[in-house]
A and B are shown apart, each in its own frame.
Chain A
Amino acid sequence: MANFLQLLVYGFQLGSIYALLAIGYSMVFGIIKMINMAHCDFLMMGCYIVYFLVTVVFGGAELIGPAVALLIILLGSSAIGMVGVGIERVAYRPLRKRPTIMCMISAIGVSIFTQNLFRALPFIGPTPRYFPVLIEDFTVNVGPVGISFTRIITIILAIIIMLILWYVIENTKIGMQMRAVSNDKDAASLMGVNINRVISATFFIGAFLAAVSGTFYATAYPVVQPTMAVALGNKAFIAAVVGGIGDIRGAVLGGFVIGITEILITSVWSAIAYGFCFLVLIIILLFKPEGLLGKPMTEKV
């Protein structure tokens, strides 16, 4: 039983990272009905920018305290947020009038290009780098179960972010505009909502979150490489679909579901565990295609 609880904890830890990333996929789909396949690369960019800020500007993590580390994470993630806005403007906005499948293909192109660009840059290169330790990690023992402190923070962070986003979307003006655009883009623009600004804000928030989750991912799995986020992105995307794409609560739920399933199956039959969550996706799509928390829609990409 203790083993099962411990595995459950690991599942939550893994799931929290999928959840943070899945939020970005869900948000973008909810607003512009497009799946941003390049979203995982914001995670990778976030890791690299924090890595360089810490090692180059500050010369190593031993010299900086947690407050400065947090500032660096926020700064780096904001920079990635702006990169997200830039990518949207260059690669997705011109295709907005076209079928959404074109946006998705453009996104795949952006994703592959970004990975190769980062690998080709001489100061990055293909060598995997060890991410500096930003948070002193220790294991908290609750009964027979051990939870890593960093992972506790990631889980709490995922839930807090979800709650903040939920509040923003339900109770603020920009949130209302987001909901309006998500409901009907053309009607919203007729009502005076600036579509471009809303979509840019969505991408900023999505990329910002991905970069923040990237830092936490790199703290738990400290190897940074240009291709590190691809597998993560696939998992987070199907987590978003399983939970109900377009809905943030669904993304978080889907993330935890996929994370826990993966860990539990790994302990039973580890060879198939990686692919098993894709099977879960197929089953969910067969029985509840809108996802666990989604509402039925007539057409989705």
Chain B
Amino acid sequence: MKKVFALVLALVMIVALAACGSGSSGSSSVPDTIKVGVMGTMTGEQAEDGKNIQGAIALIQQELDAAGGLQVGDKKVKVEFIFGDTEAKPEQAVNVMQKFLNQDKVIAVIGPNNSSDCLSSYEVSQAAGVPAIASTATNVRVTAIGDYCFRACFIDPFQGLCMANYALNECGYKTAAVLSNQGDAYSTGLMESFVQAFEAGGGKIVANEVFAGTDVKDYNAQLTKIKNANPDCIFIPNQNNMVINMCKQILDMGITCQLFGCDSWDYDFLAKEEVTQGAIYTSGYAKDITTAKDFYDSFVALNGFEPGFPSAMTYEATKILFNAIQNCQSVDGAALRDAIAATDMDLPCGHLSFDADRNPVKDCAIIQITGIGERTYLTSVSAS
């Protein structure tokens, strides 16, 4: 009898996407306190991301406290955020995910921020039927793992395409070189999509160099080859902690061509360095986007530093989750999954809806570092 009841409710769910059934428990299915896991690189070489993530969650918490809780239906629900540190290690991400699912029994997971960490840990959440929304993981394979895997940011093929098109069309560059991290799925994915898009647009990749992993700090051998190839621009899709070393070595070697980056460059401390001046990069978030102004002001007022891409995406991912909970009034995995997939809302970075692959359809911003600490928003490239 319960099974028939659940089957009928599932059919109702499919027909009216916004409404969800209460599942087999038969009672009000949103507990008074819900637990949400937040995963990211809180410590280690990418700890700057962790700072941004925590700042975003602090802002969410501030909004929840002001409203007295999350309004679900006719009651206010308390949200408890549990943080997990992936330390930028995929195997650690798996451990954290298992702790979230088995010990803390979270209803959903926000993050991780790294594509490599997502690729490993989302296998666990997919198998357990718990929805997870990645914040800044842009590698295309993350959402391909299963229907419980979502992301708040754009995907690397789109990002690489935007950067390549910008280089070709707006800047008129004909040749490019790339220096990417072979040990990072994010970096390699971006390199592939940039190369593909650049060559499809008529450009020529004159040097495509890699280095073995985060431990490598000396890129002089690769840069010598790049310098000899004399490109119009260099694309550097690497994590923030390596960018300073790379830019310094590039300048020391006398290479003066335009540097292009990606969303991992969107940090206050990177823009403050002399060696990164003039670089252009893509991001899902720019503080000059009109709809992002409130988010920017509240974030700076609460946390004391400017938000970047990871903070914006964590904030948006949490908002997507809350919106889904409010729409389907359930914390059941399958119900949440469907509600998230049906998201159609306005967020600080613009309007967001999910496509069939659970990737968001949203714009890409192009930002340039125009002065010490100054990140200037140049333009937006839309997904269509």
Interface residues of A (CB under 8 A from B): 3, 6-7, 10, 13-14, 119, 125-128, 130, 137, 139, 146, 148, 221-223, 225, 227, 230-231, 262-264, 266-267, 270-275
Contact = CB atoms under 8 A, between A and B. Distances in A.
B105 interface: no
A65 B161 CA distance: 48
B212 A128 contact: no
Given A127-B48, A221-B218, A119 B43 contact: yes
B228 interface: yes
B269 interface: yes
Contacts of B216: 231, 273-274
Nearest to A137: B252
A108 B244 CA distance: 29
A270 B210 contact: yes
Nearest to A6: B224
B213 A274 contact: yes
Contact of A126 (B44, B224, B228): B44
A125 B245 CA distance: 19
B222 A270 contact: yes
B254 interface: yes
Contacts of B254: 139, 146
A273 B47 contact: no
Given A127-B51, A263-B221, A270 B209 contact: yes
Contacts of B222: 266-267, 270
B218 A263 contact: yes
Given A127-B47, A227-B44, A271 B210 contact: yes
A222 B244 contact: yes
Interface in B16-56: 43-45, 47-48, 50-51
Contacts of B244: 128, 130, 222-223
Contact of B221 (A7, A146, A222, A231): A7
Nearest to B50: A126
Given A270-B209, A270-B221, A275-B212, 18 more contacts: A7-B220, A126-B44, A127-B48, A128-B269, A146-B253, A221-B248, A222-B248, A223-B217, A225-B241, A227-B45, A262-B218, A266-B222, A267-B221, A267-B224, A270-B182, A271-B210, A274-B211, A274-B212
Contacts of A222: 244-245, 248
18 contacts: A14-B218, A126-B48, A127-B47, A127-B269, A128-B269, A130-B244, A130-B273, A139-B254, A146-B253, A148-B252, A221-B218, A223-B217, A227-B44, A267-B221, A267-B224, A270-B182, A273-B216, A275-B212
Nearest to B269: A127
Main secondary structure of the interface of A (DSSP, over half): helix
A6 B252 CA distance: 14
Contacts of B170: none
B220 A10 contact: yes
B44 A3 contact: no
Interface residues of B, number: 33
A7 B228 CA distance: 13
B222 to A, nearest CB: 6
Nearest to B213: A274
Contact of B212 (A139, A263, A264, A273): A273
Contact of A125 (B47, B213, B220, B240): B47
Nearest to A271: B182
A155 B214 CA distance: 25
A223 B275 CA distance: 12
Contacts of A263: 218, 220-221
Interface string B231-268: 00000000011001100100011100000000000000
Given A7-B221, A127-B269, A222-B244, A270 B252 contact: no
Contacts of A223: 217, 241, 244-245
A128 B213 CA distance: 17
Nearest to A234: B215
Contact of A221 (B45, B48, B217): B217
Contacts of A262: 218
Contacts of B212: 270-275
Interface in B45-90: 45, 47-48, 50-51
A241 B222 CA distance: 27
A126 B43 contact: yes
Nearest to B218: A14
B225 interface: yes
Interface in B263-283: 269, 273
A126 B45 CA distance: 7
A223 B45 CA distance: 11
B44 A7 contact: no
A126 to B, nearest CB: 3
B221 A139 contact: no
Contacts of A13: 220
Given A221-B245, A223-B244, A231-B215, A266 B44 contact: no
Contacts of A137: 252
B48 A128 contact: yes
A146 B216 CA distance: 22
A273 B212 CA distance: 7
